[in-house]
Amino acid sequence: MTTPDAVFGAQSTAEDVLAGTDLTGTVALVTGTSAGIGVETVRTLAAHGATVVAAARDTGKAHGALGAVGVDVGGAVTIEEVDLASLASVRAFTDRIAATHDRLNLLVANAGVMACPEGRTTDGFETQFGTNHLGHFVLVNRLVPLLVAGAPSRVVCLSSTGHRGSDVDLDDPNFELTPYEPWAAYGRAKTANALFAVELDRRLRDQGVRAAAVHPGGIDTELFRHLAPEMLARIAALRDRSPKTVAQGAATTVWAGVVADADAVGGRYCEDCAVAEVNDDPRAPSGVRPYAVDPDNAAALWARSEELVGERFA
């Protein structure tokens, strides 16, 4: 097993983090498994013995991507279809998982879109908030009974340093009152991902389920597909370090989900395999903004999210 005092950082890979860890008997579910960090997360968990449900909107693409990195699809890894931009798809997916699994030990809410053109999900929500947050809000909550059955268990929500650009706007979540701006929408969605982990952890920790948010780092993946060349150049110029590899990008996810002390990461925002400092300085290249870990903000987002999706979660 990985030693509790092992030190990992920005350059660590998911394999580094899980070195010596046997995950036999662990049942994990990962969303967004057709490319990038999601594929590496599935590959690493399965390589260490976990049984993994790989959830993806495009199952054919997921099958090809996972097979290309040596994952035994159909063995310890199964692929399930879910479109986070459709709550009907999310609910059908969770019904299938609940009917075929008796527990979950780890759920990684990894899927997402970034800085896309203005649009709406099937249910009429702004695309980034609806997909990145509300889709996962319903998916995770409907699978809570399996997480409780698998306790001690964990939920890892993929946030981003992009949260530093915008707090959530609970009065105008769909940009109906203000002009749409792709990066503001992304910031709102990533702040929502962090706040969801805060409130989820508060509600479930006494039942043995802990939740954390993570920033994987700057990685050049398909998440960048909507960005024009000039925006890509701007991002590169703003980076304080070279882009991480996909293997490094998955490291904080598996660290928070498997290796780190549950009490240390529960309800927290993590980056570079560590709990991030709360930092309100806009010039700081790292850290988490106070509003993204504020418990009152998290509780308000939860209540508003229930209103929007038309479903309450005890």
Q: Which residues are catalytic?
A: 159, 186, 190
How far apart are the C-alpha atoms of 105 and 149, rounded to whole Å? 8
Instruction: Confirm if 120 and 130 have CB atoms less than 8 A apart.
Output: yes
Print the SS3 string covering the chain: CCCCCCCCCCCCCHHHHHCCCCCCCCEEEEECCCCHHHHHHHHHHHHCCCEEEEEECCHHHHHHHHHHCCCCECCCEEEEECCCCCHHHHHHHHHHHHHHCCCCCEEEECCCCCCCCCCECCCCCEHHHHHHHHHHHHHHHHCHHHHHHCCCEEEEEECCHHHHHCCCCCCCCCCCCCCCCHHHHHHHHHHHHHHHHHHHHHHHHHHCEEEEEEECCCECCHHHCCCCHHHHHHHHHHCCCCCECHHHHCHHHHHHHHHCCHHHHCCCEEECCEECCECCCCCCCCCECHHHCCHHHHHHHHHHHHHHHCCCCC
Instruction: Confirm if 243 and 222 have CB atoms less than 8 A apart.
Output: no
